[in-house]
Amino acid sequence: MNPRSDFPILNKTINGETIVYFDNAATTQKPQIVIDAVSNFYTNSNANVHRGINPLAEEATKLYEDARATVAQFIGAASKEIIFTRGTTESINLVARAWGEASLQAGDIVVLSQAEHHANYVPWLQLKEKLGIKLAVIPVLASGELDLQAAKKLLAEPRVKLLTLSQASNVLGIINPIKELFAEARDLGIVTLLDAAQTVGHLPIDVLDLHCDFLVASAHKLYGPTGVGILFGRAELLAKMPPFLGGGGMIASVATDSFVAGPVPEKFEAGTPPIAEAIGMAAACDYIKQVSWTEIIKQEETLTEYATQKLVERPYIKLLGTALKRLPVFSLVINDLHAHDLADLLGQAGFITRAGHHCAQPLHDSLGVVASLRLSLSFYNTTEELDRFFSALDQVYQSFN
């Protein structure tokens, strides 16, 4: 397997060095096939969807709806359960506003984990301010795993209405036992929301198998375009939810004093949707299937094992979260060296990493760490790139010691 040739940007050089792209948790690179799908749409099929009775509008609408079917199938859902949004963040906001405001009352509890991305904190904190709901936080153990005993205790509280969790934190990369926790939540009548932003490009996901009521993800983390993502919702839930945004495309009828919302999914897609981007997202799903999960997982496991060994060999590095069942995502702290300085120096040599709290300040606060340096790999990365990276990191460390 040599998928590198599918990704033109991987040949880019910085200061004469071919880049080593280790920032896949922020966004993945795009294969030519996805770039072509977006470009072909604009070159040959561009029109607004769902509106015109003309052949071009019909062609664009068909491509857009076919994209919905492809993405739905990719996660084991039905087309009518998929809403195209701008991404994970908008999808969680949609659930918080449309489902949360209609279903939650003061004193109700939303359970989440310490390791959630800000996208899975702030919308619930906003509801805390607005409705007086409470947030209950599952602690993260030193291994980076969720404290399952604490989680089960929290779920047993009578007023818990929602369990919202990332399948893997964008900082720790450790894969959470979602199926087990969501099954327990379902048995207790608690609604479940899976933030699959980090996992959707690394693992096959089946919404039924995982007992998801809602799932959210962004295309740009699964080799697709920016500006588009999905909300999956179980049909009964979506049918009962009021619309989130109002405007064209989401109505059955409008009068000067009232409106009637249209059916799902249009009800949640006000205005012109991200048409080319949705088509690009479907092309990315097809690309993953073409490469195959077997190949992707095999290569990513090799990289995870190799990187873990390199990290363990270096006592000057502290890895945040050491559990082994993980994505190839590693956040590091090096005594006396600020992560921003490390990212900057490494960047000058072509290594694209990320430094900061990675939009997970509650997690960094609980670990007593202000910022970490994150390497996040994809199946197109190689062990040779890891060798190059660790030798550059050793040099930077030695130059300061």
Q: How far is CA 118 from CA 166, 170, 189, 195, 284, in A?
A: 11, 11, 26, 12, 26
- Phi/psi at 24 (nearest 5 deg)? -70, -20
- Based on CB atoms, which residue is closest to ligand PLP, 228 or 264? 228
CB of 263 to ligand PLP, least distance (A): 26
Judged by CB under 6 A, the stretch of 28-36, 82-90, 104-112, 142-150 that binds ligand PLP is 82-90
Q: What's the rounded Cα separation, in Å, for the pair 73 and 137? A: 33
* 24 and 39 Cβ atoms separated by less than 8 Å: no
Q: What's the rounded Cα separation, in Å, for the pair 352 and 33? A: 23
Q: Is 198 in the site for ligand PLP (CB under 6 A)?
A: yes
The correct pick among 24, 61, 170, 372 for binding ligand PLP (CB under 6 A) is 170
The correct pick among 98, 197, 288, 303 for binding ligand PLP (CB under 6 A) is 197
The tokens for 167 are 């399948």
Q: What's the rounded Cα separation, in Å, for the pair 331 and 334? A: 10
The tokens for 40 are 């072909």
Active site residue 359: yes
Q: Is 119 in the site for ligand PLP (CB under 6 A)?
A: yes
The correct pick among 195, 213, 300, 385 for binding ligand PLP (CB under 6 A) is 195
Catalytic residue from among 137, 359, 370, 396: 359
Q: What's the rounded Cα separation, in Å, for the pair 228 and 216? A: 11
CB of 55 to ligand PLP, least distance (A): 34
Q: Which of residues 212-271 bind ligand PLP (CB under 6 A)?
A: 218
Q: Which of residues 336-395 bind ligand PLP (CB under 6 A)?
A: none
CB of 244 to ligand PLP, least distance (A): 15
Residues 6 or more apart in contact with residue 181 via CB below 8 angstroms: 146, 148, 151, 155, 163, 165
The correct pick among 97, 117, 267, 354 for binding ligand PLP (CB under 6 A) is 117
* 370 and 355 Cβ atoms separated by less than 8 Å: no
Interface mask toward ligand PLP for 139-168; x: CB under 6 A: ---------------------------x--
CB of 222 to ligand PLP, least distance (A): 10
Q: What's the rounded Cα separation, in Å, for the pair 269 and 249? A: 7
Interacting residues with ligand PLP (CB under 6 A): 87-89, 117, 119-120, 166, 170, 195, 197-198, 218
Q: Indicate which residues carry an active-site annotation.
A: 359
